[in-house]
Amino acid sequence: MNALALFKKYSIILLAIGCISVFLHAEPSSPSGLTVEEFKKYHKELQPTGKEAWLSIPWKISLLDGQKVAGEEKKPLFIWAMDGHPLGCT
Amino acid sequence: MGYTNNRDPQRVINLMQRALKKFKPKKVKAIKKGDPDQRYNPKPPTGGLVLRVRAKILSGYEPTENKWKKIFQSSISRDNLWLTQKEHSQLVKGEFPEKLAQRLARFHLVDNTRGEPPMWRKKEIKNIKIDLKKGRLTGKAHLETEKKNRGYQADLLGVVETKGGKVTRLDIVAKGLFWGEGTYTRNAPKGKFPLVVSFELADGKDVADAVPPQGSRGWVPGYLNN
């Protein structure tokens, strides 16, 4: 088999494998410059781990809801307030 | 019973311990809720979607021993992106709405990892192109101020899944180089630095899901119809 015939044979197989892998892949393929691996990595990396201490506090974002619970549980109110966006100070 | 404007955890604990010593429990009635003024109590659009948005700087900071700077240098920000009912429907049809691309760029491709960032003005969107084909989302963004002292050039990649006429998954990652800082986001890395922004569908289980987007503050229609 000459080089051209070999190329034709294997390029068809590679093309078929490529098509199947794209078809089976549930994640995005990209002409954007970001790879699928990067997409998965960073999307996961930017998730909270669930171990953050502040996540263990049952925050209320309504003052009245907090006041109601404080009254029911006979506890003082702790208010964390700022003059900017509540999520803006990271 | 107590007050502090200091964020040092030990000082906050001391404040709480002092207050607890003074606290004498007594029976109190819940304050009855009136009709909230919607201007100060905005809700996500009915039938729309809420996306959680997070950002992180990957590298570029000067090493520091300052404990506060260390926190900011490794922080992951959090905001929410609101979509209208119409935009939700368009996504289900396999289209990525132009208005949504503009909103995503103006208010969410920002460096909010050290505080409240300046949002992009319309004219600072040099390019935002997001394509959605068969559930695969790809895109490019170029945002830059007129003075060229702040900017972001990024690639976007994502996936959209739908079921029963609703979006069930909407994950996006934007990665690129950011430069510059804002009045309330000082001490950015020098020069250009890698910034990643991620988006995911909110399920309402996180209390922060209910917070309106920072870009909508005071003017939700302006945010939605940017």
State pLDDT tens for residues B48-85.
999 999 999 999 999 999 988 998 999 999 999 999 99
Number of domains in chain B: 1
What pTM was computed for the model?
Answer: 0.85
Is the alpha carbon torsion for B95, B42, B218, A86 positive or negative? negative
- The CA distance from A2 to B79, in Å, is 60
What digits encode the pLDDT tens for the residues B207-222? 889 889 999 987 899 9
Q: Which of residues 7-26 of B touch A (CB under 8 A)?
A: 16, 19-20, 23, 25-26
Among B79, B159, B175, beta carbon nearest to A38: B175
Q: Which two tokens stand for residue A14?
A: 């590679």
Residue A18 has what pLDDT? 42
Q: Is residue B190 part of a domain?
A: yes
Q: Is residue B60 part of a domain?
A: yes
B23: confidence class by pLDDT, cuts 50, 70, 90: very high
Interface of chain A against chain B, CB under 8 Å? Answer: 26-34, 36, 38-39, 42-43, 45-48, 59-61, 64, 67-68, 70-72, 74-76, 78, 84-90
Q: Which of residues 72-131 of B touch A (CB under 8 A)?
A: 72, 75-80, 112-116
- The CA distance from B109 to B53, in Å, is 9
Q: Is residue B112 part of a domain?
A: yes
* Residue B201 with chain A: CB contacts under 8 Å: none
| Closest by CA position to B100, among listed B170, B168, B175 | B170
Chain A to chain B Cβ contacts (< 8 Å): 117
Q: Is residue B2 part of a domain?
A: no
* Residue A84 with chain B: CB contacts under 8 Å: 115-116, 184
Q: Is residue B119 part of a domain?
A: yes
The answer to whether the CB atoms of A38 and B208 lie below 8 A apart is: no
Q: Which residues contact A71 (CB under 8 A, 6 or more apart)?
A: B27, B28, B29, B30
Q: Is residue B65 part of a domain?
A: yes
User: B47 — alpha (psi -120 to 50), left (phi > 0) or beta?
Assistant: left
What digits encode the pLDDT tens for the residues B159-170? 999 999 999 999
Range of the domain at B187: 49-225
- The CA distance from A82 to A45, in Å, is 28
Query: Is a pLDDT exceeding 70 seen at residue A23?
Result: no
Output A16 or B122, whichever has higher pLDDT.
Answer: B122
Q: What is the ipTM of this complex?
A: 0.90
Q: Is residue B91 part of a domain?
A: yes
Q: Is residue B11 part of a domain?
A: no
Residue B93 has what pLDDT? 97
